[in-house]
């Protein structure tokens, strides 16, 4: 069976790397995620990954430390590079070729993000790990994921979370929360849902790029999503709650 998508942008939060800890990177979780990506890559799908850095530092929390928001966001961007170095190494240990690219130049550490070069790597079957968000403060890595997905002509933006889709409310708090199999961009934005940054959803809406929100922590879910199986919630045109 041929996969449903040929090229995808996978958005991973920094918290995905924490595992059962409270911060930083859990080695077992890192290796498990790399295995899931290896399994998905074996389908022949081109995979680019945008990483968050919340497990290291969140720019939104910078006032707590007496740091201005711009400086705090730069610190968060640097956190994504730490995560990217770790993920690249884990992927290479699984036998995948991976390229680490940054939106802020630091050539001794990684390549700068250059769109034609990233596209070339994807066509060659390499996994492209994208860090530093958009390279500018005040934009979340969700927004960076949407931007890179559009730039790299991905077929879908896959938002990996710790829940199995988009709910009407926080399912950890409200036992009556309803899970949507599909929801339109408009309904998502009007409902005030917060699984994904509104700027990111608006970018995807303007370009009609579908968003798949799914649970990363269930084994095989990336592969299932790529094969078109019903996994998570699809946010797109004409999909209604």
Q: Report the alpha-carbon distance of residue 199 to residue 175 in Å, rounded.
A: 28
pLDDT by residue, tens only, the chain of 241 residues: 689 999 999 999 999 999 888 889 999 999 999 999 999 999 999 999 999 999 999 888 888 889 999 999 999 999 999 999 999 999 999 999 999 999 999 999 999 999 999 999 999 999 999 999 999 999 999 999 999 999 999 999 999 988 889 999 888 888 889 999 999 999 999 988 888 999 999 999 999 999 999 999 899 999 999 998 989 999 998 654 4
Task: Give pTM, 2 decimals.
Answer: 0.94
The domains of the chain, with CATH numbers, are 7-236 (3.40.1160.10)
Q: Report the alpha-carbon distance of residue 166 to residue 175 in Å, rounded.
A: 14
Q: Report the alpha-carbon distance of residue 12 to residue 71 in Å, rounded.
A: 23
């Amino acid at each position: 069976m041929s996969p449903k998508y040929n090229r995808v942008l996978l958005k991973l939060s920094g918290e995905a790397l924490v595992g059962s800890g409270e911060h930083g990177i859990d080695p077992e979780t890192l290796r498990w995620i790399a295995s899931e990506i290896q399994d998905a890559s074996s389908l022949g799908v081109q995979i680019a990954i945008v990483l968050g850095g919340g497990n290291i530092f969140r720019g939104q929390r910078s006032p707590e430390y007496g740091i201005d928001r711009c400086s705090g966001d730069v610190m968060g961007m640097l956190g994504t590079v730490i995560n990217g170095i770790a993920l690249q190494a884990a992927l290479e240990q699984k036998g995948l070729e991976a390229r680490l690219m940054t939106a802020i130049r630091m050539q001794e550490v990684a390549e700068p993000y250059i769109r034609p070069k990233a596209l070339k790597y994807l066509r060659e079957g390499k996994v492209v790990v994208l860090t530093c968000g958009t390279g500018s403060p005040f934009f979340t890595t969700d927004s960076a994921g949407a931007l890179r997905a559009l730039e790299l002509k991905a077929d879908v933006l896959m938002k990996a979370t710790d829940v199995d889709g988009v709910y009407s409310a926080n399912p950890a708090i409200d036992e009556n929360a309803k899970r949507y199999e599909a929801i339109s961009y408009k309904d998502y934005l009007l409902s005030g849902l917060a699984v994904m940054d509104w700027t990111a959803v608006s970018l995807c809406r303007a370009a009609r790029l579908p968003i798949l929100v799914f649970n990363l922590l269930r084994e095989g879910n990336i592969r299932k999503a790529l094969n078109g199986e019903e996994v998570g919630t699809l946010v797109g045109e004409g999909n209604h709650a």
